[in-house]
A and B are shown apart, each in its own frame.
Chain A
Amino acid sequence: QVQLQESGPGLVKPSGTLSLTCAVSGGSISSNYWWSWVRQPPGKGLEWVGQMYHTGITNFNPSLKSRVTISIDTSTNHFSLRLTSVTAADTAVYYCARAYGYSFQHWGQGTLVTVSS
């Protein structure tokens, strides 16, 4: 059974860069899935951030596209999220997920990232 686990700093300063990693176990990151990030501001709904296929194809939320990078490391079976120029509006629980087609079938437990000085 595939498992995903997010890791990274829980606090980022305004205008700084948010960096998170998702460790994938129980399956290869080179398999035919979309490796995705979804976030959820406190008390609010889900927001799709972006996704990457192991071949390097990426898609990003248009509202975040200029600030987001997603990368995959096949040697370590991890994928990562990088969000630059963060503000308080980027405070959220960030989930990594594995998607097949249009469905997020496996999710990490989520990690809260707070943007504050």
Chain B
Amino acid sequence: QSVLTQPPSVSAAPGQKVTISCSGSSSNIGSNSVSWYQQLPGTAPKVLIYENNNRPSGIPDRFSGSKSGSSATLGITELQTGDEADYYCGTWDNSLSAGVFGGGTKLTVL
């Protein structure tokens, strides 16, 4: 059971928008910034969003992040088949003194 809760799967059609939620608590998301990672099949994770809503260079602005209270959301617009991947949220948990991840969400672009 992951400390952060994500939906196991989401799906949408090409060109549409999708959001992925990440729910935590006051000891993790409520106190610290959130990152989002994309893991394409057979590859290492790649950071999409850091510090809640910042994109590293090279990440298109179709990807966005937000945080409110103890929850965070990843948004992806103009969906492409190449966006099919597993997406993970992550942050630090002050109570555990440990890094924590969500269980991951599999995005299917129909």
Contact = CB atoms under 8 A, between A and B. Distances in A.
Interface of A: 36, 38, 45-48, 51, 59-62, 95, 99-105, 107-110
B96 A62 contact: yes
Contact of A101 (B44, B51, B98, B103): B51
For chain B, the bracket of interface size reads 20 to 34
Interface of A is mostly: strand
Given A45-B86, A48-B99, 5 more contacts: A36-B99, A46-B88, A61-B99, A102-B91, A109-B44
Contacts, number: 71
Interface of B: 2, 32-35, 37, 39, 43-47, 50-51, 56, 86, 88, 90-92, 96-104
Given A102-B90, A105-B56, A110 B97 contact: no
Given A36-B99, A46-B104, A51-B99, A102 B45 contact: no
Contact of A59 (B98, B102, B103): B98
